[in-house]
Amino acid sequence: MGSDNRFEDKVAFITGAGAGFGRAFAEALAREGAAIVIADIDGDAGERAAKELEASGYRALAARCDVADEDQVQAAVDAGIAQFGGIDVLINNAGKHLMKYNQPFAQLGMDEVRVLFDVNVIGVVACTLACQPSMAERGGGSVLNISSIAGHMSATPYGVSKLAVKGLTIALARELSGSNIRVNAIAPGLMATENAVGELPDELFDQFINQNQLVHRRGEMRDIVNAMLYLCSEEASFITGETLSVSGGFPLQL
């Protein structure tokens, strides 16, 4: 365990935790004492991630789960509760985010628009409502949604889906406050993830950083992980309904 055990005896349910940010979130929370439910549509990736956590001495369970399917969500949540006794932290990390979703609605087409909103918006609602009863029973909890700075500034289908996540964060914070459940979001900026690095040429990446960001370096996984650990922990017990931009100071808003 790390020197901080802020999540001792807590159970975290993380969607899309087989790879990427979700995987990093799982490792960071496990290091601080949490048992982890890895809910991923890619069952094999979820199993691999869970086995690796267990090999490091952590408690983990993989549950194959399409967040757009309420029945699968409920089954995954039930499996986590059966294994670990309940849910304390939910991270709504699963999302559609490739360049494909940053084109006009007409070009993307209705079928793909539905897929995008089913995962990025409906999935957040489905997972949050499925975890609420257990969190309430345990005296409260913390929900963290993953939005994007695209939600502040872009009029693409992807940007609109992430703007909806910001709205959901406020609506769900209000709705769940009676159960002592806090709901916040992180809006990452341009991050040096495999996907982003694979899709953007280096010169465009650096141009964006130098022209837009106040902090002139690439955003890294640890920047998002550190924000997650804070918002999900008791250190942020007076914060709810907020979306924190982790983006090097772009875009700044009054």
pLDDT at 1: 41
Catalytic (active site) residue 158: yes
Q: Give the residue ranges of the chain where pLDDT is below 50.
A: 1-3
Taking the C-alpha atoms of residue 126 and residue 131, their distance in angstroms, rounded to an integer, is 9
Contacts of 22 (CB under 8 A, 6+ apart): 14, 15, 16, 38, 40, 91, 93, 94
For the chain, domain boundaries: 11-191+220-246
The predicted structure's pLDDT at residue 74: 98
| Contact between residue 145 and residue 67 where contact means Cβ atoms under 8 Å apart | no
**What CA–CA distance (Å, rounded) separates 111 from 104?**
13
pLDDT tens string 72-126? 999 999 999 999 999 999 999 999 987 899 999 999 999 999 999 999 999 999 9
Specify the pLDDT at position 2.
Answer: 43
Tell me how far apart the alpha carbons of residues 59 and 72 are, in angstroms, rounded to a whole number: 22
- Catalytic residue selected from 58, 101, 158, 230: 158
Length of the chain: 254
| CATH code assigned to 11-191+220-246 | 3.40.50.720
Asked if residue 59 lies in contact with residue 32, where contact means CB atoms within 8 angstroms, the answer is: no
pLDDT tens, position by position, 224-242:
999 999 999 999 999 999 9
